[in-house]
Amino acid sequence: MPILRQSSLLNDLNARPYTNWGGEDDALLGDTELVDNQQSVLDINLERDAGNWQPIAYSPELADDPRLPNWFLDGAVTSLEIAGTARDNLGYPRILRAGQMGVGATCRLGNIPNRKKFWRFVALNTSGYSSQEIAPLRNDLQSAVIPHELLSWRPTNDNEEEMAQDLMTVRALVRNEARDQMLLREQEFVRELAEPVYADGRYVDHAPLDDSFLVIGVIKSQRARYLGNRPLEVLYSLNQGERTPAFLIERRRGQSGVNYQIVTFYVRLTSPDIVGPSGGLARIELSERYFQNRDTDSQLLDAIAADLTQLRTRDVTYARGAVTVEPIRLIERELHLIFRDTQMTAIETMRLLDG
């Protein structure tokens, strides 16, 4: 029975180490086109009848609402391909990535210190190997002088088995596995905090096991189209601090297949005079069950919009400053400051596998 070990991994996979990192392609992550998700809208009239949608006014005094979170959470991941082959002895293309990831949370209450966690990792596709056959490699990496997590992707159905035969697809899948594992660690961190929290990204990637506390997803990059007709006109007409009425959508979390019903709305954090009618828009998500179980009124949504508008970063050098709140920017920056240089991290991992 073949097994994978740290000491023989590159030979077993026929993987050739390389250090030509100038051609790393962010397009591998894909997901940059605007996708029409209007079919996932369950109730456009959740807060206002669609035909009567109007921008909802900015009420800055509501930013003092005691229900609002004091915690802000974000994660970061960097990685590089360090070895690969077009085909190994089992007939699969192999890609190995090395990197680091971190998750951090900061509290707006000044007497509470930031909380952070970090991991080094090796990510690869383990197509053709069982969990038992990769367990020795996992143990070797965890017990190394610099411990590494093993992030393993393998096909789980016939469609994925076909995908695992294509080298470029495997490259993207292994890279996405690192991103997905970071999101799982963010989700675990939210549960450890067990307090209301703003999380950078989708609600479904941070959902707690129950709805005992408020989790608010803040989505900065708008890659889905949910609105049409009058609601779409309202979205583009928002002024700074204004929000759209809320509507109900359905979202699925990753490979788990769990569906969540989400209350969502848009808020404009930066004036359209500065960024244009499609700029400065953040989309906010929270659990529909939380919203309904607590008989939540629209004032909480108004308070979220006011809070985020007031917290928007004023750092004009930050690429996504128009849609980023300052506490999230600061914890992201703190994570990156503690990261090692990505190329040095990759070299250290190659030495670990070559040793």
Tell me the average pLDDT across 272-279.
88
Q: How far apart are CA 314 and CA 107, in angstroms?
A: 19
Distance CA 118, CA 116 (A): 7
Question: What is the distance between the alpha carbons of residues 27 and 23, in angstroms, rounded to a whole number?
Answer: 11
- Cα four-point dihedral sign 12, 15, 16, 22: negative
Per the DSSP assignment, residues forming a β-bridge with 152 are: 124
Name the residue with higher pLDDT: 26 or 258.
Answer: 258
How far from 5 is each of 12, 133, 139, CA to CA, in Å? 9, 9, 9
Output Rg (C-alpha) for the chain, integer angstroms: 22
Q: Are 71 and 193 in contact (CB under 8 A)?
A: yes
d(C-alpha 140, C-alpha 195), whole Å: 36
DSSP 50: G
Per-residue pLDDT reduced to its tens digit, 283-327: 999 998 887 765 567 899 999 999 999 999 887 676 677 889 999
- Across 44-65, average pLDDT: 94
The one-character DSSP state at 244 is P
Q: To which residue do tokens 């359905």 refer?
A: 250
Per-residue model confidence (pLDDT) at position 63: 95
| 3-state SS class at 259 | strand
pLDDT band at 48 (very low <50, low <70, confident <90, very high): very high
Res. 30 pLDDT band, cuts 50 70 90: very low
pTM of the model: 0.90
166-222 pLDDT, tens digit each: 999 999 999 999 999 999 999 999 999 999 999 999 999 998 877 778 999 999 988
Q: 93-110: per-residue pLDDT in tens?
A: 999 999 999 999 999 998
Spatial distance between the Cα atoms of 265 and 50, rounded to a whole number of angstroms: 13
73 with 206: CB under 8 angstroms?
yes
Residue 186: alpha-carbon gap to chain centroid: 8
Q: How far apart are CA 178 and CA 100, in angstroms?
A: 9
| Residue at token pair 């383990």 | 126
d(CA 247, CA 227) in angstroms, rounded, equals 10
The number of beta carbons lying within 10 Å of the beta carbon of residue 312 is 21
CA angle centred on 73, ends 148 and 172, rounded to 5°: 50
pLDDT at 43: 94
pLDDT the model gives residue 255: 55
